[in-house]
């Protein structure tokens, strides 16, 4: 079962300079909310920003990660 | 392998996207959504009184599989406007709150939550944008 710590670490490892906060929405280990701040998002559309994060987890989204709610921001 | 042969489900999905200017793929129906994310997204469209087509992806798991292959987007719901993926529940909620969704749909922006509309025939807000917890 994925943990909030694991998701945070993987997002931050995959997106240079990213800072992620991950919350388990219902305590069940399968519905998560990630807030990610990264300069790598600059100049990208919301779709592209969210795809960067979905890409970290691939097929796990919809599988063990049943739902991943995303909020993205640049630091500036 | 039969990968290159006709794929009727994918073709039907693509055709639906092409034929409907606003189309929402969701779990359940706008009247009976089967997931909170789908409910919020359909609710945003209903709140803006934007006409939209809705497709329930639950009856056949291949619908979701083929939809995600077309859109390169892993989650449900998915909102398409004029053939383009707009986003999922989070993006639609952000765009609803900022007025961008109304703009994209060509309808009136939502009432500001701070302005209590007068009149007793005003329906209560059908959704709350509380996408960001914590």
SS3 label, residue B24: strand
Residues of B in contact with A68 (CB under 8 A): 75
Substitution target in A48, A64, A69 with the highest count of B β-carbons within 10 Å is A69
Task: pLDDT tens for chain A, 76 residues: list them.
Answer: 789 999 999 999 999 999 999 999 989 999 999 999 999 999 999 999 999 999 999 999 988 999 999 999 998 6
**Antiparallel, parallel or unpaired: β B22-26 and B78-81:** antiparallel
Interface of A with B in 10-29 (CB under 8 A): 21, 23, 25
pLDDT value at residue B2: 52
| 8 Å CB contact of A67 and B75 | yes
C-beta atoms of A25 and B132 within 8 A: no
Two structure tokens written together for A57: 């987890």
Contact (Cβ atoms closer than 8 angstroms) between residue B89 and residue B131: yes
**Mind listing the pLDDT tens digit for each residue in B5-14?**
789 999 999 9
Tell whether A73 lies on the interface with B, counting CB pairs under 8 A: no
Q: Which candidate, A5, A3, A8, A76, places its Cα nearest to that of A42?
A: A76
Of chain B, the end-to-end C-alpha distance in Å amounts to: 48
Strand runs labelled E in chain A: 19-24, 31-37, 67-73
Cβ of residue B134 closer than 8 Å to a chain A Cβ: yes
ipTM for the assembly: 0.89
Does A51 contact B133 at a Cβ distance shorter than 8 Å?
A: no
Grade residue B126 by pLDDT with cuts at 50, 70 and 90: very low
Residue B61 contacts A, CB cutoff 8 Å: no
- Token pair for residue B12? 């039907």
């Amino acid at each position: 079962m994925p943990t909030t710590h694991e998701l945070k670490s993987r997002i931050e490892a995959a997106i240079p300079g990213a800072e992620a906060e991950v919350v388990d929405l219902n305590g069940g280990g399968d519905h998560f909310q990630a807030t990610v701040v990264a300069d790598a998002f600059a100049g990208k559309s919301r779709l592209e920003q969210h795809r960067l994060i979905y890409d970290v987890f691939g097929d796990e989204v919809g599988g063990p990660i049943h739902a991943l709610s995303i909020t993205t921001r640049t630091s500036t | 392998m039969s990968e290159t042969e006709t794929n009727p489900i994918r073709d039907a999905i693509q055709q639906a996207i092409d034929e409907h200017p606003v189309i929402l793929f969701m779990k359940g129906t706008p009247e009976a959504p089967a997931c909170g994310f789908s409910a919020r997204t359909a609710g945003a469209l209903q709140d803006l009184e934007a006409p939209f087509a809705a497709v329930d992806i639950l009856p056949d798991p291949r619908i979701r599989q083929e939809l995600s292959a077309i859109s390169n987007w892993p989650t449900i719901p998915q909102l398409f406007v004029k053939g383009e993926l707009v986003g999922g529940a989070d993006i639609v909620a952000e765009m609803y709150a900022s007025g961008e969704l109304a703009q994209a749909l060509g309808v009136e922006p939502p009432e500001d939550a701070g302005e209590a509309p007068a009149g007793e025939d005003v329906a209560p807000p059908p959704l709350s944008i509380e996408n960001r917890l914590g």
